[in-house]
Amino acid sequence: MDYVRNNYDCIVVGAGHAGCEAAIAAARLGANVLLCSLNLDNIALMPCNPAIGGPAKSTIVREIDALGGVMGEAADATYIQMRMLNSSKGPAVRALRAQSDKKQYMNYMRNVIEGIDNIHLRQACITDLIAENGVITGAVDEFGIEFKARTVILTTGTSLSGRIFVGLKSYSAGRLGEMAAIGLSDSLRKLGINLKKLKTGTPPRVDKRTIDYSKMTIQPGDEELYFYSFKPDRPVRNQVPCYLTRTNDETHRIIKENLDKSPMFQGLIEGVGPRYCPSIEDKVVRFSSNPSHHIFIEPEGLGTYEVYIQGFSSSLPADVQVKMLRTLPGLEKAHVIKPAYAVEYDYVPAVQTSHSLMSKTIKGLFFAGQINGTSGYEEAAGQGLVAGINTVNYLNNSEMLELSRSSSYIGTLIDDLVTKDIQDPYRMLTSRSEYRLLLRQDNADARLTPLGHKIGLVSDEQFKIFTEKQQNIEKEMTRLFEHKISATEKVNEILSKYGEHMERGMKASELLKRPNITYKILKEIDEETSALDLPRDVYEQAEVLIKYDGYLKRQEFQVEQAGKLDKYKIPDDIDYDKIDHISSETKDKLNKIRPKTLAQASRIGGVKPADISILMVLLERHTVARKAL
């Protein structure tokens, strides 16, 4: 893959979180990559919340790291606060969240990119794609310069024909202060690709020197730190607090009196907004019985006075925003640095792509991130990593990486996108996964590191560290199943502090299965356990695997049962229109999605169990007929 001027293996259009992961993965696997951005000073920008992780999203970040991606490593290196959410709940819903230093995060990611010789940066607006006979061959920028490439990955975020709204005024832009990508939408349509519109928004930014934090509730970081990356020796940094305030009747009154100035309520915005992160005016109208809403005050970084007002996304006029903000406790004298705004943009419904994230109609053209209809940095980065890996698989004519729902949240996310007709910006939630007890953030390395090593993104050194960890977990679990703890007076005296009692001696594993007993309590009551100097990630994994053994086995059985439908492969040339006893509506859905397996067909909205039964009979007959030939 020799470098020739304007001739590349892969062109990545957009340098947000999807674009960065895509370019890095493709380049590390040997591809010669051109990474284009509308503004190279905004590589890996967090245009909305300066944070990584949270419910479900933290699992995606850990999965990215386990596969050999960069987001977790960058979040660990640049956090200014680290918190484990839902720490008192079960392991399936615990979620790490890092408040990041926005500028440091961007610098970290740019340094990674610039440290890879076969990534070539270019500030350019790609306006046209070139394809011959349904195969991508290159792209053209706004100056008419042609770049040849066998693959293109589109990671355009909100820039694709983006339009910003503040009140009833609007202008062309992808983000505040940044131009929109104009021309590329028309090029995609000429290639036969369908586009729709979505809407998202972001809150105002305020000068922290004008905030009275004494009227707010402080939210400090954790004393006992967890990290995203499975690499050893993660950095311990000083943490800064976030704060919590609330809206009130006066806030809601101002919002309701100014809805006639809202572009969303006046029908100026066509795109559907994010269901799980609505604007403050949308929240006030939709949840009118709620007297107040939480508002989080979060620093943008250590080197700036800029503060992010989470939960206060809006598209109302700038002067109205100031009035609204100043009704919040602690923000009575707030100075607004940047107003909130809404942005409407084009996206490509992902039912037009396969699980590899390559277009079904244009070979070599991949899509990742918000262009696929998702919302969130983590969802974008996970898709970017898969697209980058599959770009190289396509170039090498190798088998595509298609993650299953049972393997990962990334696999669940992609399967939902390409199987279901998403109508609003998709956000990953724990409830979207039927296997969430198996797909925890704490075991992402056990699930995906072997795959990352096989692909070539996880180094031999890191894989050795991973292997030793898994061996230590197995060794400790074996010990816990064999080691017996006596019911002594001293042991019961300690257990009584935790509402527990032992009538007889029992295996350590048996005791650990009790809801009130943790591994730390075992260390407190048992000398042998206390004498072991095991890393926290080892004994915590052993504890989870023992404590939830029955539930895990039940979910593994569900995976096995669901896998039976995955074994029914649907031929690419199947003609659904010729199948009797299936409704026209079902045929339309099947023709649109073109599922690869019966399992995928069963997840398409509107496809009935009876339709699946008919397809199963036909596929079984087809298999028997082929064997008879």
Question: What are the structural domain ranges in the chain?
Answer: 7-200+345-455, 205-342, 460-554, 567-628
Please state the φ and ψ torsions of residue 295, each to the nearest 5 degrees.
Answer: -130, 125
Query: In this structure, what DSSP letter does residue 423 have?
Result: -
Determine if the pTM surpasses 0.85.
Answer: yes
Contact predicate 93/86, CB 8 Å? yes
> Which strand (E) or helix (H) includes residue 79?
strand 79-85
- Predicted pLDDT at 565: 84
Are 59 and 71 in contact by the 8 Å Cβ rule? The answer is no
**Cβ(618)–Cβ(443) under 8 Å?**
no
Q: What is the DSSP string of 311-359?
A: T----S-HHHHHHHHTTSTT-TTPPEEE--EEEEEEE--GGGB-TTSBB
Question: How far is residue 193 from each of residues 139, 370, 381, measured CA to CA in Å?
Answer: 16, 16, 23
pLDDT of residue 561: 84
Q: Domain spanning 460-554: which CATH class is it, in words? A: mainly alpha
Among 376, 385, 390, 375, smallest CA distance to 408 is for 385
Find, among 84, 62, 80, 67, the residue nearest to 25 by Cα: 67
Token pair, residue 599, equals 């399992």
Q: CA 47, CA 281: separation in Å to the nearest integer?
A: 20
Using DSSP's 3-state secondary structure scheme, residue 153 falls into strand
Measure the CA–CA gap between 356 and 368, rounded to whole angstroms. Answer: 10
The number of residues making up the chain comes to 629
List, for the chain, all residue ranges whose pLDDT scores fall below the cut of 50: 1-4, 624-625, 627-629
C-alpha triplet 189, 191, 197: angle, nearest 5°: 30
- Cα torsion 406, 361, 157, 171 to 10°: value is -150
- Tokens at 359, concatenated: 């277009």
Query: What CATH fold (topology level) applies to the domain 567-628?
Result: DNA polymerase; domain 1 (1.10.150)
Classified by CATH at the fold level, domain 7-200+345-455 comes out as FAD/NAD(P)-binding domain (3.50.50)
CATH 2.40.30.260 fits 205-342, yes or no: yes
Q: What is the pLDDT of residue 167?
A: 93
- Separation between Cα atoms, residue 160 and residue 184, nearest integer Å: 7
Instruction: Tell me the C-alpha distance between 572 and 580, whole Å.
Output: 19
